[in-house]
Structure 1
Amino acid sequence: MTDRPTDLSSLPSYRQPWRGLFSARKFALMASVVAGLGVAAYGLSPQGAQLDLFSTSAHAQVANEVSKVARPVGFADIVERVKPSVISVKVNIAEKVAKNDSDDDTPFQPGSPMERFFRRFGGENGIPGMPGRGGRGGGRAVTGQGSGFFISADGYAVTNNHVVDGADKVEVTTDDGKTYSAKVIGTDQRTDLALIKVEGGSNFPFAKLADGKPRIGDWVLAVGNPFGLGGTVTAGIVSAVGRDIGNGPYDDFIQIDAPVNKGNSGGPAFDVDGNVVGVNTAIYSPSGGSVGIAFSIPASTVKSVIAQLKDNGSVSRGWIGVQIQPVTQDIADSLGMKKAEGALVAEPQADGPAAKAGIRSGDVITSVNGEPVKDARELARTIGGLAPGASVKLNVLQKGQEKTISLTLGKLPNTIEAKADTGGDNSSPTRGADVPKLGMTVAPASSVAGAGKEGVVVTEVDPKSAAADRGFKEGDVILEVAGKSVTSAGDVREAINAARNDNKNSVLMRVKSGGQSRFVAVPLAKG
């Protein structure tokens, strides 16, 4: 309201009679409300004594009460309650590291294009499987340090897989400075989670995993053991949700801007109610230090994974046996889809549940048990969250027709290797026939050593062509064009002309490259 001053210094002097818009009774009421004095009668102090608004002491009292209202609330009460549940995790590994000369702590496989941008934040002396900073080579003990938190009073605690993976010895230090031995109950490499059990103690303070999902903009508190300094708390907000950082098909990270550093790995991110919304596991860091971009595993993922680790020591995931890829807008247009949604089946694996149920290359899986599938990652997470042996119904777009296909999930193998064709050398394919307006030449696969018998091999690509823009390179094998198998340049031209006659803006090709199949939508030039 405009008739109330925002600064006490703007009020008339206490030595002058009260004039203008404010009466003494009005100001007394205003002071009571703003300062939270809860005074029912006008002009009374909190003690019930008459308040002289024209005295220096009254002016000071009102100013003091108003300043209390303006003071920030802070997180001290929350921290005092949750910090005892957070632990420091130290591991020792006897390992030969002569072949590993890197000091980098990264969440990605060596050679990954993201490796130099994303960093794990294990201990200052390295992480399991990595050499310490004191030297390289030889057989010696490697130490690592991270964080974790109790989830039950009997000593079960959560941390990251990469903190304890391969550890010979695990020790935890609690917030009160006590040290205990711990054993690894189970680990899950795909989500980078681990469950440990602290021995020799009981009635530990523990944290509760949040039931709901955080919203972008919510406050979060990161608690951990950065650089081995001991329990440290930082605050920030949720910057984003559903982040994919290229770590695997189950990426669904919460991004936070609370500063986290080496040693925070495995520590919790709390909400303002004191519940764990995520487990801090990676940071974006070109330099190795915090730049305000950290990633946490959501509590919902932690709950499902830890439950299996506690019961079985490992995680079993459902599997349908398909190689999938996202549906881009170009691909959606080629398939006559209104929206670029769902997961495109690049290739069903032989004898897998999907292949047995009738799912084919080029099908688009649009929902699982009636729940829409937004993209390929969501399909992987949904199927992976179901138990092997479960029956599911998939809605599938197959050659323009919607179908419902029922199948029984298999068990996701621990390792799935791509079957690359190594039958010969295809580094120097013979020159083939031109494919008009696409900027590449092709030859029958059967005429090129090591290319197999199906499809046509790309023998040359114009670097300024549409084919080059879509990632085609020499040696790629085109298996299908517009849903039809091709064995010659004539088959390719015929399929392209048919797509043009149907007024298609692009044509969908199934391409095999490096043993992996994928679909590529190639735009068609007019004319």
Structure 2
Amino acid sequence: MPGLYPVLLAILLVLLVIQAFRLIWLVATPLGPVGDWHGREVQVLSPQSRWSLFNSFDPFFRAGPAATANVVTSLQLTLFGIRMNEGSGLGSAILAGPDGVQDSYAVGDEIMSGVKLDAVQFDHVVIDRGGVKESLYLDQSVPAETVGAEDDVETAAGSGLPSNGALAAADITNAFDLAPRSANGKVTGIVVSGRGDGALFKAAGFKDGDIIVSVNGQPVSSAGDISTLKGQIAPGARLSVEVERGANTVPIAINMGSQ
């Protein structure tokens, strides 16, 4: 069809002209706003408004303000250790009831009937006793001991400990009382307490309330670990244990003599 090609060519030329006008319009049209335009001014809040804003939320996602209680509890509870979590505002504590058995409780756990652990602070815990908040503090009536080289020699001499720091295996088994500590039905440590005057107990590096959590790098996970620990106390043996002491974990090396 000889007359079709001129028609198609004319259509193509028209489309090219349209695209050319569109390109010119695109280049000529300004990209920014047209007219008398001004950017928005920065809005600066007053100090009072900023204070109210930052008090309305916690940037660290903590549970809320620290709980306080002005009433000291009259319950027969003893606080042995505290483990805080400042990021979450939670934590756990080692408590013992009237029977003297220590157990670990997290915030929200029930300590006894009608009594829950509400909050953990650096030197005390807050318990919820039927809706009433009460405080229970760590026993700080005993001052911290300052031990020097001369004190170590005197302690060793008074306890029958050799000057090289070695302990007699036969004596150490009679110097300690070991009891399991459980949490949520699982054994999580071994509570260590001294017998007699406690001289040999202290000479070995322990303090009242210490809880053994690992022996030679193996974590304590069952009551059978007490028998395992006693079986490892033998002449010439060296034991490396880790104990929970308050909120800290302290390594203790026990070197037993050859006899």
Q: TM-score w.r.t. structure 1 length? A: 0.17
Bigger proportion of residues as helix? 2
